[in-house]
Amino acid sequence: MNVVIEGKQISKVYGSGDSVISALQLIDLTVMEGESVAIMGPSGSGKTTLLNILATIDSPTSGEVVIDGYNILNMNEEQLSSFRRDRLGFVFQDYNLLDTLTVKENIVLPLAIAKMNIGQLEQRASEVAVRFGIQSILDKYPYQISGGQKQRTAASRAIVTKPALLLADEPTGALDSKSATDFLESLKELNEQEGTTILMVTHDAYAASYCKRVIFIKDGSLFTELVKGSQSRRDMFKKVLDVLAVLGGGAIDAV
């Protein structure tokens, strides 16, 4: 099996001179193809910084990051843009859909940017729409649909390019529990049936329990990790809560 993310000794320091704040310290992280990984930690633990670095929209102060075989630290701005376009998919807490485009247009946007031919583009669009059950709202605008539908649209957009890695930042943060469950089930199916590699950052133990592996970070360093293996989601959920209790800090009240 291929390695999708290979992060070595990732450090990130903000500021300079006397007022240096260290956000990440020597993080090692490996994610294999077909895995689903959740990163958890209290507020300010550096998990969003880590996600931004893996998403290539921020760069580490030191260390090495190889994604899908490409060393992203050696790339220039132009190359990073096309790398994000071709190999990464994003889902954000606040959906990040474009208001002026219909659901369908939002979904095909990455393909349009990649200048895919129109036939193939239409076919991909209908494939992902079926997968996320949003065929009926393709011609609607984002303001006309519900939060859950918006997040499915965002996920459709994220996977329409068949990315090597799907990155999600608090994907269930703005959803009610029913929509969140539906959405997490969809992601799980995607992971199990299509083998899409997923990495999400979350506060939500429930969302994390859907992943095959949960990594905890605290104060910018790896704290511990849980592997689901053959146990049920319910057991995983309990274990995640146990670790969070030990971790303390802001994580508790978020659960």
Partner 1 sequence: MTLFDVAKKNIQGNFKNYLIYLLSMIFSVMIYYIFVSLQYSKAITEGLQSSESLRAVLSQASVILILFTAVFVWGSNAFFTRKRMKEVGLYALLGMRRQTIARMLFYENLIMSLAALIIGIFLGTLLSKLFTMILLKLLDNPVQAGFEIHIGAIGQVTFVFVVLILITSMQGYRLIYKFKLVELFQAERKGEHAPRISLLAAGLSVILIALGYWTAFKPISTTQGILVNFSIIFIGLGAGTYLLFRSLVIALLQLSSHHKKRYYRGINMIGTSHLLYRIRSNTVMLTTIALLSSLTLCAVSVGYSFFYTQKQSAEQEMPFSYTYAASENGLDAEARQLILSDAKHPVIAEIDLPAIATDADLTRFAYQPGNYEPNKVPVKLISASTYNRAASALGYKERLQPAGRDVVLVRPLYTTLSADEVQGNRISVTTGNERESLEVTGIAEERILPWGYPDMCIVISDSLFSQLNKSLKASTYKAFKVRGQETTKETATALIKLSGDGTGMATFYQQYRQNVENAGINVFTLGFLGLVFLAATGSIIYFNQLTKAEASKGSYGILRKIGVSRKDIRRSVAKQVLFVFGLPLIVGLVHSIMMLKALAGINLISGLFAVPILVSGGAYLLIYLAYYAFTVKTYDRTVSAQL
- The reply on whether position 90 binds partner 1 by CB under 8 A is yes
The two tokens of residue 244 are: 């969070």
- Least separation in angstroms between CB 64 and partner 1: 22
Which stretch, 9-17, 23-31, 64-72, 73-81, contacts partner 1 (CB under 8 A)? 73-81
The site map against partner 1 for 200-219 (x = CB under 8 A) is: --------------------
Which residue in the set 86, 182, 219, 225 belongs to the binding site for partner 1 (CB under 8 A)? 86
With contacts defined by CB under 8 A, how many residues of the chain interact with partner 1?
31
- The backbone torsions φ and ψ at residue 249, rounded to the nearest 5 degrees and listed phi first, read 70, -155
Report d(CA 90, CA 146) in Å as an integer. Answer: 19
Which residue in the set 26, 112, 245, 255 belongs to the binding site for partner 1 (CB under 8 A)? 112
Identify the three-state secondary structure at position 42: coil
Q: How many CA atoms lie within 13 A of 153 on its CB side?
A: 31
Which residue is associated with the tokens 């994220």? 158
CA triple 231-68-64, angle to 5 deg: 95
Which residue in the set 85, 173, 221, 225 belongs to the binding site for partner 1 (CB under 8 A)? 85
- Least separation in angstroms between CB 39 and partner 1: 18
DSSP single-letter state for residue 74: G
Pairing of strands 36-40, 198-201: parallel
Q: Given the rule CB under 8 A, which residues bind partner 1?
A: 55, 57, 77-78, 81-86, 88, 90, 96-101, 105, 108-113, 115, 118, 121, 141, 143, 157
